[in-house]
Chains A and B, each alone.
Chain A
Amino acid sequence: MDYATAKLIGAGLAAIGVGMAALGVGNVFGSFLESALRNPAAADSQQGRLFIGFAAAELLGLLAFVVAMIVLFVDVR
């Protein structure tokens, strides 16, 4: 396999991580909504924590994107 092909396959594999982050972010908002519907009175006070969880889950997906970009555009040879 030549260098350019391996690079593209590597970037594609790194993009899997973005999908994994989608699971994480969906889980954060899904769990929040599930519990917010059980106790709507307490939902507003937890909005800050919701976005902290969102930010933490999203960051890891964005890191996967960074890895894909580094694999694509940084020449290590």
Chain B
Amino acid sequence: MAGAEAATSGKIDPMHQFEVQPIFDGFSLAGQQIAFTNSALWMLLTLGVVWLFMLGGMKRQLVPGRWQVAVEGVTGFIDNMMTANIGAEGRKYTPYVFSLFMFILVANLLGMLPVGVVGLHPFTVTSHLTVTGVLAIVSFAIVLIVGFWKHGFHFFSLFVPHGTPGYMIPFIFLVELMSFLVRPFSLALRLFVAMTAGHILMKVLAGFVINGTNAGIGFAALVAVPSFALMVGITVLELLVAAIQAYVFALLTSLYINDAVNLH
């Protein structure tokens, strides 16, 4: 519908890029179609890029080459973050947080690839709440499992900070419980909305450039050229946001795991 409308009116539909479309129809399971979608394809690409990146850098040479330095830089960065936030025990969780960080970072960056110029449609995996929601739920589940495994029901003392007066405990408990339960939602929403908003903004600006160019030389000079300059700047900003959002997701996960490991 949106495509036909766009063809006739010249409007650019900024939401079309988020559509999940089946590539292979797959099979039917309990009345649901299980298809191989473009989302699945870009997740596989993400996995492939991360795998290649790690494969090239795990030669364990005494004098590392450039590639190995790049890989060791990222692993060392996550390792430092875990040690700084959790302590010596935090290194156990480095593999999980590292996988999380690399998946989000590479998925964000792959979604920014300008493969549209050769006719392919890039798809940002992390611009869907289902994907970021699952990542957040896994992080939250690890916090719950580690917390109850290590501390048993003493884990609930997380919701009562030290030195709370007795008559305030019920209220503080409720407030802290609420802020704890909101965590997976805030984790998932932040990544999803940041990527969605950035991509909508770029498509809207691209619409200005295309329609401005088509509307004649005056509009091209007044609208299309400034929009294009702005778009280049926004693209650089989006690359920064892609990295910051991956970092923030990993950082907050490490802080939440710290709560479960050390209480407070």
Are A and B part of the same complex?
yes
Partner of A51, one of B186, B193, B194, B248: B248
Q: Closest Cβ of chain A: how far from B187's Cβ, in Å?
A: 9
Known: A59-B189, A62-B190, A63-B189. A52 touches B251 (CB 8 A): yes
Among A54-77, those with CB < 8 Å from B are: 54-55, 58-59, 62-63, 65-66
Interface residues of A in 21-77 (CB under 8 A from B): 48, 51-52, 54-55, 58-59, 62-63, 65-66
Which residue from A55, A62, A63, A66 sits with its C-beta under 8 Å from B252? A55
Q: Which residues of B contact A58 (CB under 8 A)?
A: 190, 194
- Asked if B193 and A66 make an inter-chain contact with CB atoms under 8 angstroms apart, the answer reads yes
Residue of A48, A51, A52, A65 touching B197 (CB-CB under 8 A): A65
| Complexed CA–CA distance, A55 and B254 (Å) | 14
CA distance A54 to B85 in the complex (A): 17
* Interface residue range, chain B: 10 to 19
**A66 with B247, Cβ < 8 A, contacts A48-B81, A52-B252, A52-B255 known:** no
Minimum CB–CB distance for B48 against chain A, Å: 29
Instruction: Assess whether A55 is in contact with B189, with CB atoms less than 8 Å apart.
Output: no
Name the B residues within 8 Å of A63 (CB-CB). 189, 193
Shortest CB distance A3–B (Å):
20
Q: Are A48 and B85 in contact (CB under 8 A)?
A: yes
Across the two chains, which residue of chain B brings its CB closest to A64? B193
Residues of A within 8 A of B244 (CB): 51, 54
Check B251–A65 contact: CB distance below 8 A: no
Contact flags B137-154 to A (C-beta < 8 A → 1, else 0)? 000000000000000000
Interface string of B236-256 (1 = CB under 8 A from A): 000000001001100110010
Please give me the residue from chain A that is nearest to B84 by CB atom. Answer: A48
B252 to chain A, nearest CB (A): 7
Q: Which residues of A contact B252 (CB under 8 A)?
A: 52, 55
Question: What are 8 A-B pairs with beta-carbon distances under 8 A?
Answer: A48-B251, A51-B244, A51-B247, A52-B255, A62-B190, A63-B189, A63-B193, A66-B189
Q: Which residues of B contact A (CB under 8 A)?
A: 81, 84-85, 186, 189-190, 193-194, 197, 244, 247-248, 251-252, 255
